Amino acid sequence: MKKTHVKTNDVIFQTVTKVVAFIIIIYSLHLFFSGHYTPGGGFIGGLMTASAFVLMLLAFDIKTVVNTLQVDYIKLTATGLLIAVLTGVGSFFFDVPFLTHTFDYVQLPLLGKTALATAVLFDLGVYLVVIGVTMTIIQTIGETE
């Protein structure tokens, strides 16, 4: 199937994308960090970050976006899996079952009393895997003629 290419001027779409992509990504980061006490978390945050990248793919062509981001998504997926597994392995050092998570209140210099949970690290792994897998699927489908 051949696509007929009518050249259109995407100036409005591209300008709006340049603004909206930042807002989507910052919102996805907010969702990622709010996952412990409120709805959100690694999975939905990763999907929203990937959706911002997909919006960029829609507004610009694939080459531009690949040059802009310059991320190897397969390596990103591997990194995410590694982080998730290592947070599980870390529980062996304290003689507790695999994937046992803990949290503690830490006095940080600027933030004051902050609850730091190891579950956030596991969530970071999930986040990276979701971005990597989503973008790999979409770019692979997009590049095949």
Partner 1 sequence: MAFQLLLNFFLAFIWMFLSNDYSSLAFFKGFFFGGLVIVALRRFFTHRIYFLNIIAVIKLLFIFLSELIKSNFAVLKVILSPKLTIQPGIFALETDLEKDWEITILSNLITLTPGTLVVEVSEDNKTLYIHAMDIGDVEQAKLDIKNTFEKAIKDVSR
CB of 55 to partner 1, least distance (A): 15
**Of the candidates 1, 11, 108, 141, which one interacts with partner 1 according to CB under 8 A?**
11
Q: Could you tell me which stretch among 14-22, 57-65, 68-76, 137-145 binds partner 1 (CB under 8 A)?
A: 14-22
CB of 12 to partner 1, least distance (A): 5
- 125 contacts 37 by C-beta, under 8 angstroms: no
| Residue 7 lies near partner 1 (rule: CB under 8 A) | yes
CB of 7 to partner 1, least distance (A): 7
Q: Which is nearer to partner 1, 18 or 36 (CB)?
A: 18
Q: Which residues contact 43 (CB under 8 A, 6 or more apart)?
A: 126, 127, 130
Q: CA 3 to CA 16: how far, in whole Å?
A: 26
Q: Which residues contact 31 (CB under 8 A, 6 or more apart)?
A: 40, 41, 44, 45, 48
DSSP strand E in the chain: where?
A: 103-108, 112-117
Q: How many residues bind partner 1 (CB under 8 A)?
A: 8
| Residue 38 lies near partner 1 (rule: CB under 8 A) | no
Q: CA 87 to CA 110: how far, in whole Å?
A: 26
Interface contacts to partner 1, rule CB under 8 A: 7-9, 11-12, 14-16
